[in-house]
Chain A
Amino acid sequence: QVQLVQSGAEVKKPGASVKVSCKASGYTFTSYGISWVRQAPGQGLEWMGWISAYNGNTNYAQKLQGRVTMTTDTSTSTAYMELRSLRSDDTAVYYCAREAPLYGDAIDYWGQGTLVTVSS
């Protein structure tokens, strides 16, 4: 069965960086894109960006350009999202999610979420 297993919760200070991992299993990793989505406490969903697991192409949300980097390691079927220069408003649950060509590239599977807390 398809699974996306993310790394554990993180607490960071303002100005620091965080790198969240997302290990995929149960499907051919390079056949699907991965989106990263975050959700601040009590707030809605925010799309952060996309990476092709096939060739590593990326596209990031404009507001995060320059602070976010998404990568993949096809040898371990793992996707990574690094966010730099953290601020308090980056406190959120971060999700990796698989995009399904069968569903018009909508998201059909989600990781369990990683809580990143930014606090001094």
Chain B
Amino acid sequence: EIVLTQSPATLSLSPGERATLSCRASQSVSSYLAWYQQKPGQAPRLLIYDASNRATGIPARFSGSGSGTDFTLTISSLEPEDFAVYYCQQRSNWPPRGTFGQGTKLEIK
């Protein structure tokens, strides 16, 4: 099975700073990678799909890049509401699988 490794485990930044989160796959997932944001007590929210496409309603400060095995989620200028846990997920077409990374906690410095 494909393993996704996210780094760092915890990222401490201040509002207004730029955040860069990494997700590395154990083998190529092409561009079949999504990013989600989860806040305490809530279900995750889709941010990015197919590695670089923002989902409907997601602010432009969120961007995704990468293909193959290395992916990045960038938040250009952190807002207070962006502090949360972020997960990447690979979605292989067949057989359909949806492995998640272990998450990166973005906390206020």
User: In the bound complex, what is the Cα–Cα distance between A112 and B46 (angstroms)?
Assistant: 15
List, in ascending order, chain A residues with CB within 8 A of B36's CB: 45, 107
- The count of chain A contact residues (Cβ–Cβ below 8 Å) is 24
User: In the bound complex, what is the Cα–Cα distance between A62 and B2 (angstroms)?
Assistant: 11
Taking CB atoms and an 8 Å cut-off, the chain B residues in 35-77 that contact chain A are 36, 38, 43-44, 46, 49-50, 53, 55
- The count of chain B contact residues (Cβ–Cβ below 8 Å) is 27
Knowing A105-B91, A106-B91 touch, does A45 contact B46 (C-beta < 8 A)? no
What's the count of A-B pairs with C-beta under 8 Å? 72
* Contact, CB under 8 Å: B46 / A46: no
* Contact, CB under 8 Å: B89 / A110: no
* Contact, CB under 8 Å: A46 / B44: no
Question: What does DSSP make chain B's interface, helix, strand, loop or mixed?
Answer: loop
Could you tell me the distance in whole angstroms from the C-beta of B30 to the nearest C-beta in chain A? 10
User: In the bound complex, what is the Cα–Cα distance between A71 and B41 (angstroms)?
Assistant: 27
User: In the bound complex, what is the Cα–Cα distance between A105 and B55 (angstroms)?
Assistant: 12
Could you tell me the distance in whole angstroms from the C-beta of B48 to the nearest C-beta in chain A? 8
Knowing A47-B89, A104-B91 touch, does A95 contact B97 (C-beta < 8 A)? no
